[in-house]
Amino acid sequence: MSSDSEIPQQCEHLQDELSELALGTLYGRSRAEVLAHVESCSRCAATLERLSVVADSLLQLAPEIEPPLGFELRLAERLHASAIAHRPGRFRRIGTLSAAAVIMVVLGFGLGTWATPSDVNRPAQSVTSHLTSAHLTAHGRVLGEVMVSAGTPAWMLMTISESPWSGRVLCEVTLAGGKVESIGAFTLSGGYGAWGAPLTAPASEVRSARLVAPNGTVLATAQLSV
């Protein structure tokens, strides 16, 4: 452990490398050395965070340019070829869970609950073990996906892509014991929608979710076994 008088000297010694680390151009032993130092030095960690903001912003300064005519068409063709080449056999199951992980992360981020500036450089943590997902169905037809995150608070998120209905819909959950709670409302447009909300009850209490029309008609349901 370094003494107090040595810390500023070590910090000063690594200032060049902090900038290079933020820019993504530091490799090998130097990179490992700086990362180890930042782990135990809040001052340099704060500096690195701001330098990282600068490095990220530099990329965003690049001017927007209209791609050549036909860009979308050519990309669609490449995507199609790529999708065929990379289609895994168990895509649906794995893909759904992965998507759930993304939604958990992104809605938390979007609502400002997870990704505070100090979180930016923190190592990624697996969230998939806390997720449960299920199809949202109506008359045996899959309309979308529902996901529940067992965090504090728990979250419910859904993506609907095949709904025959449009307009305002309510989301209700049925808890263990049969109690029904309304957790919010959102709008489906053209059969599509993506939405999420925190749950007041623990995720382990949630048994099912359903979409309800304003007139009380149940439009779709999802059975969850958390």
Partner 1 sequence: MISLRSSAVLLRMRRVRTPYEDDISDEVLLAGMAIGDDRAALAFMRRYQHRLFGLAMGIVGDLALAEDVAQEAFIRIFRHASVFDARRGSVATWTLTITRNLAIDALRLRGDTPTDPDDQVFLGLLSANRKPEDAAVAEDSLDRIRVALRSLPIQQRRAVLLAAMYGRTAQEIAVAEDIPLGTAKSRIRLGMDKLRESVVIEEDQ
> Considering only residues 153-192, where is the footprint of partner 1 by CB under 8 A?
157, 159, 161, 187, 189-190, 192
In the chain the first and final C-alpha atoms are separated, in Å, by 46
Q: Which one, 20 or 181, has the nearer CB to partner 1?
A: 20
Q: Which one, 110 or 164, has the nearer CB to partner 1?
A: 110
Pick the binder of partner 1 from 2, 10, 40, 98 (CB under 8 A): 98
Total residues contacting partner 1 (rule CB under 8 A)?
76
Q: Which one, 26 or 138, has the nearer CB to partner 1?
A: 26
Name which of residues 196 to 225 contact partner 1 (CB under 8 A): none
What count of other Cβ atoms lies within 10 Å of the Cβ of residue 35? 14
Considering only 67-75, 172-180, 199-207, 208-216, which stretch makes contact with partner 1 by CB under 8 A?
67-75
Among residues 139, 187, 128, which one has the least CA distance to residue 160? Answer: 187
Among residues 192, 193, 114, which one has the least CA distance to residue 149? Answer: 114
Name which of residues 18 to 37 contact partner 1 (CB under 8 A): 18-20, 22-27
Contact assessment for residue 146 and residue 134, using Cβ atoms and an 8 Å cutoff? yes
| Minimum CB distance to partner 1, residue 206 (Å) | 20
Name which of residues 105 to 134 contact partner 1 (CB under 8 A): 105-110, 114-115, 119-122, 124
| Minimum CB distance to partner 1, residue 27 (Å) | 7
Considering the rule CB under 8 A, would residue 142 count as an interface residue with partner 1?
no
Name which of residues 36 to 55 contact partner 1 (CB under 8 A): 47, 50-51, 53-55
Beta strands in the chain, from DSSP E residues, in sequence order? 131-138, 141-149, 155-160, 167-175, 180-188, 193-198, 206-212, 218-223
Q: Which residues contact 174 (CB under 8 A, 6 or more apart)?
A: 180, 206, 207, 208, 209, 210
Residue 25 half-sphere exposure toward CB, CA atoms < 13 A: 6
Backbone dihedral angles phi then psi of residue 18, each to the nearest 5 degrees: -60, -45
| Minimum CB distance to partner 1, residue 53 (Å) | 5
Tokens of 79: 């995507």
Pick the binder of partner 1 from 3, 5, 42, 60 (CB under 8 A): 60
